């Protein structure tokens, strides 16, 4: 009888199955396009395989992955090719069954990146303010301020859409 020896690839596959959806959603919030988000997610797992860091626990690992994908998205957004890119009409970045949820997702995606990322991590991924600050490498007060301003922008947009 042969025993199965755990392989490094098996570990990465388990991590992928656990966190791929979360990382993809974070990338979608930053990048706004499914193809770019898929690429960023893939690059994050490649970096996990290349670096092979050791983690204290699952939360440490998740925070590391989120930090990596966030930084990768920021670097993609800063590249010149992205600024010259022409958007195709009819492109649907994220969809949901409920139309009111879809409208809210579109509003969140329309926020500037610095507000969009904290709003997403706080409301969609249920991270506390302290952990968002650690992940994004900003102070807790900066997280609170970005949440406040993001909420204000969303409120202005939502109030502007209501029939009077």
Q: Is the dihedral of CA 120, 124, 29, 53 positive or negative?
A: positive
Query: How large a percentage of the chain has pLDDT more than 70?
Result: 78
Query: 64 near 55, Cβ under 8 Å?
Result: yes
> What does the pLDDT average to over 158-163?
65
pLDDT exceeds 90 at position 144: yes
Query: 116 near 109, Cβ under 8 Å?
Result: yes
């Amino acid at each position: 009888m042969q025993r199965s020896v755990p392989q490094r690839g098996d570990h990465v596959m388990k991590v992928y199955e656990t966190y791929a959806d979360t990382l993809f959603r974070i990338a979608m919030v930053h990048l706004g396009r499914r193809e770019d988000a898929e690429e960023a997610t893939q690059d994050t797992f490649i970096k996990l395989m290349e670096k092979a860091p050791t983690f204290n626990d699952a939360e440490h690992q998740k925070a590391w992955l989120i930090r990596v994908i966030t930084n990768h998205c920021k670097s993609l957004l800063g590249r010149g090719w992205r600024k010259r890119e022409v958007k195709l009409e009819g492109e649907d970045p994220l969809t949901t069954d409920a139309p009111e949820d879809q409208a809210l997702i579109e509003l969140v995606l329309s926020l500037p990146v610095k507000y969009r990322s904290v709003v997403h991590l706080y409301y969609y991924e249920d991270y506390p303010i302290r952990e968002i600050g650690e992940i994004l490498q900003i102070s807790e007060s900066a997280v609170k301020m970005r949440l406040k301003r993001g909420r204000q922008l969303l409120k202005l947009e939502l109030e502007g859409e209501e029939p009077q």
